[in-house]
Amino acid sequence: MARVFMKGCEAIAEAAVRAGCRFFAGYPITPQNEIPEYLARRLPEVGGVFVQGESEIASVSMVYGAAAAGTRSMTSSSSPGIALKSEGISYCASARIPMVYANISRGGPGVGSIHPAQMDYLQATKASGNGGFEMMVFAPSTVQEATDMTYDAFGYADRDRNPVLILGDGLIGALMEPVELPRLKSDKEVAEIKASKKTWACVGHKLDYEHRSWIEPGHWSILMQQKANEKAAVLYESWQKNDVQVEEYMTEDAELILTAYGTSARVARSVVDLLRKEGRKVGLIRPLTVHPFPFESFGKLNYAKVKAVLDVEMSIPAQMLQDVDRAVKDRCPVHTCLCSGGNIMKKGQLLEAVGKLLK
């Protein structure tokens, strides 16, 4: 298939359409505005519906409704906007509604800055809303990955009947790169996907708590709630066994391991290439899914060779560091190289941090 030159946000939007997404509701916020702007034009072309809600809360509630009826549905926002959507996302997780959303993250906390940052890791992987629910969280570092992950996310959401998150940042969203777009699902395929959900979707059958796609507050007994949580826990555990995605780059003989995701990983990979040319034994572990996290990739490292791990993040304080520490288990020192507030990780800053450790 021919490659096209696309901006990250627009590639995410087009990938959603090609995956069969036929409903989007959202609210403007920088730096993700190109997603709703693109879908406002594109969805009507394929018989879909675009709605600009009056708020983030209204928008995610509309997605809840459309997805509960069986339509592949999506929303997007940036950092503080995602926080506002957290209640609706939690409702989707509770009612087992498959939906996809993208966070093109910015600086924080609070309103913060409109510039790229990676300060929503803990929100994405540990507390996307109340009740302790979990989601698969994909972390692209290129526009192609953002495209492919978004396309695949709808399949994972339907498989698990659970929300799925694409965790990008302002750089990935604004970056323009060549992209090979996935195949556009036909109208027949989209209709078949929707029809496959009739056993649980809101299509007029009787209320059945086992196959519900709605929530009636106060109607759940304590035992019913616990049963639902136990089923969810089994689902979450299955991801760690079956769905971890990770890039292990030059790790076989490495004495120093860099670890990073998204934009930081782009810089880290280039630093590994530079240092390898100098004969330095440096490698990279890059989570493609930050949840489930690639603990096994750290577990199988040869710690007789690996002298340290360097966690690289555009967040102060470090957030992925918690999972890295858990993965390394004190088998070697873990250090950090950080920037924040909208500053993008610089190659020179990372080279300096690596140089100090190599000495």
At 140-166, the pLDDT tens digits run 999 999 999 999 999 999 999 999 999
Second CATH level (architecture) for the domain 3-242: 3-Layer(aba) Sandwich (3.40)
- pLDDT tens-digit map of 274-305: 999 999 999 999 999 999 999 999 999 999 99
CATH 3.40.50.970 in the chain: give the residue spans: 3-242
State the average pLDDT for the chain: 94
pTM over 0.85: yes
Q: How far is CA 280 from CA 86, 96, 270, 295, in A?
A: 44, 48, 13, 25
Task: Evaluate if residue 219 carries a pLDDT over 90.
Answer: no
Cis peptide bond prior to 109, omega within 30° of 0: yes
In this model, does residue 324 exceed pLDDT 70? yes
| CATH 3.40.50.920-classified regions of the chain | 247-358
pLDDT beyond 70 at 181: yes
- Beta pairing class for 49-52 and 3-7: unpaired
pLDDT category at 218 given cuts 50, 70, 90 is: low
pLDDT at 207 over 80: no
Does pLDDT of 209 surpass 60? no
| pLDDT attached to residue 220 | 66
196: tokens are 């496959």
Residues 119, 78 contacting (CB under 8 angstroms) = no
pLDDT of residue 234: 97
Question: Is pLDDT of 216 > 80?
Answer: no
pLDDT of 2 higher than 80: no
339 pLDDT tier (thresholds 50, 70, 90): very high
Reply yes or no on domain 247-358 having CATH 3.40.50.920. yes
Helix H or strand E encompassing 74: strand 73-77
